Amino acid sequence: MQQDTELESYLAALAPESDLETTATGSRFGGAGVYQLRLPINANEQLHSLAEELETSPRELLQDWLLQRLAWEARQQEQRWIPAPQATLQGSL
């Protein structure tokens, strides 16, 4: 039987480059970080239901939520940072 190199090449392209359980650097995705997330079954069902209701995918919904939360956290950190008061020069003139 003759070897089907085209099929083998196609299957090799579909196969993951590394173990699926890793959190690789994301170099295959243009520098984006790639994370694997496991949800309890009821949360997963709720996510899928809500995504369907909002006419989006669960992945896009999670990504939007995460980016919104990171922006919120950054704003909270900025608000917590209060610059030290400037020393006044009263009475030194």
pLDDT tens-digit readout, 71-82: 999 988 888 776
Let me know if residue 28 belongs to a domain.
no
What is the per-residue pLDDT for 5? Answer: 73
Predicted model pTM: 0.53
68 located within any domain: yes
Contact 3, 14 (CB under 8 A): no
The total domain count for the chain is 1
Q: Which domain holds residue 58?
A: 51-77
The DSSP secondary structure of the chain, one letter per residue, reads ----HHHHHHHHHHS-SS-TT-----GGGTT---------HHHHHHHHHHHHHTTS-HHHHHHHHHHHHHHHHHHHHHHH--PPPPPP-TT--
Average pLDDT over residues 37-55: 95
Residue 2, domain member (yes or no): no
